[in-house]
């Protein structure tokens, strides 16, 4: 029902709704407007103020079906009663924000508070901060297409259409001048005669100058089906055109063809402003299109000054700046309606290496299932082409950034990251970082990466030690034999729990070969005596597991000697080791 020429109710002696109720409603609405400017939209304070504003309309609709409000520079009036007043003509005054752009009357209808109240609240900050070259209030109201609010305005900047001071309040438009009344009476008379003639039949006389659509059906100018289909397709094509991209292309063409420094400076100003507007409007694909086209324009343009080249080149750098990118990603994280995935993917494809820390940190903490794949894709692209930057981030002071950089280096099998990962393992860094480094080195899997893993065999965390042992065993990393054998002979093998002990002996068995049989035979056969120390059954079982990993004939003969072992744990381990050898052969 939005209209620039709204018809309000006729003035009444007594308003249908007590003015005090309307006054209370505007007090709550004013608080909601201030809360909108102070808090984010997901803030509980703002949500509460918005709910209060919606409830404040309920008593009004109990008395009336419409709410006409007259707007002055400092007041809202309802049937001549002042229901809201702000003496200060500033940015926080609702009457002044409406009045200064020409709005003179508002009419609200039931349902306004459900969907369109929030729209109106969002308009006030835009009008308050608007620059002279930006859209005014009336343009913004027209764009929103309000259905439950009508408004009347005057063209302040148009001297040919002054405000009719004789118009009655609540009536719009003002009565026509006497010089136009004969013309309107003639039109009304012709319409009435035509209606009477239509009711009398097709042969009834029609007023001179009146036509019907039927008159055109049989003429030479009536469109055939092919022509109608052509017009339909062209109309669809025209409406499908992206006007934003057409504007961007026009500006880039002007920059390319016009060598005048003043022209190019103005184009640069326009492009910088458009980038901000497009980002705030969520038009990410248009921003990505502009950043791609700038490179081609710079190559084709003649006599481009270094300052102009640097200025346009900075557009992509500004997008990748940590502060700007962090704000945009935070907004995407909190939004209830994500932009199109293709649009975001195109925008992220234009990010520069400087954006890697922000992307890594966002991947670490994001809870948005739709945003995560896009962040990971952009991060992988940047990490693959900027290995040196990725390696630097392994030592980043922020835990989330460093952890994601380590994971990414492992996923990409970045061999250049091995020295930094090995240094991290021996530096006593955070437990999460050390665990991530073990996984990354395991995924990289080069001999250098496996050698860098060896210090983690003595890590203070049991889980990290076990992961390292299993990784070295899976890759049969024989250079670690001396360290592993020292662990088998040392205190760790006796103090470790069952899981770690098995992992240690499996690693030893996979890399020691026949050279370790003597040590393992001594552990497996240590049954003890009157004065001899009896070996722990679990240690003997682990020795049997290690002999099974060796898999040679000599190891098998040692296992066969213990087939009849009385201890059930040892006997079971020996049996499984022999079966494993048989299956391997």
pLDDT per position as a tens digit, 277-316: 777 777 777 777 888 888 788 888 888 888 888 888 777 7
pLDDT in tens, 440-454: 999 998 989 888 888
- pLDDT tens digits, one per residue of 171-202: 444 444 455 556 556 656 766 665 665 555 55
Which tokens hold the place of 54? 């919606």
pLDDT tens-digit series, residues 211-245: 665 655 555 456 778 888 888 888 888 888 778 88
CATH for 479-585? 1.25.10.10
Give bridge partners of residue 151 from the DSSP assignment.
106
Q: What is the pLDDT of residue 544?
A: 87
Count Cα atoms within 13 angstroms, Cβ side, for 292: 12
- Cβ neighbour number for residue 148 with a 10 Å cutoff: 18
Which pLDDT value is given to residue 91?
67
Predicted TM-score (pTM) of this structure? 0.50
| Least confident segment among 165-179, 269-283, 318-332 | 165-179
Residue 423's pLDDT is: 87
pLDDT of the residue at 367: 80
Beta strands in 402-532 (DSSP E): none
Position 161 confidence tier, pLDDT thresholds 50, 70, 90: very low
28-36: long-range contacts, CB 8 A cutoff, minimum separation 24: 28/52, 28/53, 28/56, 29/53, 29/56, 29/94, 30/84, 30/94, 32/117, 32/121, 33/94, 33/121, 33/124, 34/92, 36/121, 36/122, 36/124, 36/125
Residues 6+ apart with CB under 8 A from 383: 356, 389, 390, 408, 409, 412, 414
């Amino acid at each position: 029902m939005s209209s620039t020429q709204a018809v309000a109710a006729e003035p009444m002696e007594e308003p249908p709704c007590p003015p005090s109720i309307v006054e209370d409603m505007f007090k709550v609405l004013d608080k909601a407007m201030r809360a909108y400017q102070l808090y984010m939209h997901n803030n509980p304070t703002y949500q509460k103020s918005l709910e209060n504003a919606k409830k404040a309309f309920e008593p009004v609709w109990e008395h009336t079906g419409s709410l006409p409000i007259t707007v002055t520079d400092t007041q809202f009036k309802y049937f001549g009663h002042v229901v809201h007043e702000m003496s200060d003509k500033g940015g926080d005054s609702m009457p002044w924000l409406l009045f200064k752009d020409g709005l003179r009357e508002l009419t609200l209808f039931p349902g306004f508070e459900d969907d369109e109240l929030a729209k109106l609240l969002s308009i006030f900050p835009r009008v308050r901060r608007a620059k002279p070259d930006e859209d005014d209030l009336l343009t913004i109201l027209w764009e929103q297409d309000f259905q439950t609010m009508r408004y009347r305005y005057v063209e302040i900047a148009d001297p040919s259409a002054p405000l009719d001071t004789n118009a009655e309040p609540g009536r719009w438009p003002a009565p026509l001048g006497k010089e136009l009344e004969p013309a309107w009476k003639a039109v009304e008379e012709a319409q009435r005669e035509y209606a009477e003639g239509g009711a009398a039949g097709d042969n009834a006389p029609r007023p001179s100058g009146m036509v019907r659509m039927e008159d055109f059906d049989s003429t030479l100018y009536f469109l055939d089906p092919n022509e109608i289909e052509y017009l339909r397709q062209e109309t669809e094509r025209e409406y499908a055109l992206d006007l934003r991209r057409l504007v961007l292309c026009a500006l880039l063409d002007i920059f390319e063809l016009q060598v005048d420094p003043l022209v190019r400076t103005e184009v640069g100003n326009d492009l910088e402003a458009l980038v901000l507007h497009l980002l705030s409007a969520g038009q990410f694909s248009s921003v990505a299109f502009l950043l791609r086209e700038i490179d081609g324009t710079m190559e084709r343009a003649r006599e481009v000054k270094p300052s102009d080249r640097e200025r346009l080149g900075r557009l992509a750098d500004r997008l990748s700046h940590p502060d700007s990118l962090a704000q945009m990603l935070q907004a995407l994280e909190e939004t209830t309606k994500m932009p199109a995935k293709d649009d975001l993917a195109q925008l992220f494809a234009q990010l520069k290496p400087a954006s890697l820390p922000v992307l890594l940190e966002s991947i670490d903490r994001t809870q948005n299932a739709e945003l995560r794949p896009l962040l990971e894709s952009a991060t992988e692209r940047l990490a693959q082409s900027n290995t040196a930057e990725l390696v630097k981030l392994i030592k980043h002071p922020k835990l989330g950034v460093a952890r994601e950089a380590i994971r990414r280096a492992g996923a990409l099998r970045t061999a250049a990251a091995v020295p930094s990962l090995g240094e991290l393992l021996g530096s006593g860094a955070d437990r999460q970082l050390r665990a991530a480094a073990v996984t990354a080195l395991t995924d990289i899997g080069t001999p250098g990466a496996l050698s860098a893993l060896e210090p983690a065999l003595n890590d203070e965390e049991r889980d990290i030690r076990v992961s390292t042992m299993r990784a070295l065993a899976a890759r049969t990393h024989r250079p670690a034999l001396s360290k592993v054998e020292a662990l088998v002979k040392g205190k760790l093998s006796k103090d470790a729990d069952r899981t770690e002990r098995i992992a240690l002996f499996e690693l030893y068995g996979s890399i020691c070969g026949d050279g370790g049989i003597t040590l393992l035979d001594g552990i497996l056969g240590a049954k003890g005596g009157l004065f001899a120390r009896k070996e722990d059954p679990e240690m003997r079982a682990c020795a049997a597991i290690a002999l099974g990993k060796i898999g040679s004939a000599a190891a098998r003969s040692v296992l066969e000697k213990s087939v009849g072992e009385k201890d059930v744990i040892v006997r079971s381990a020996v049996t499984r080791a022999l079966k494993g050898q048989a299956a391997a052969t």
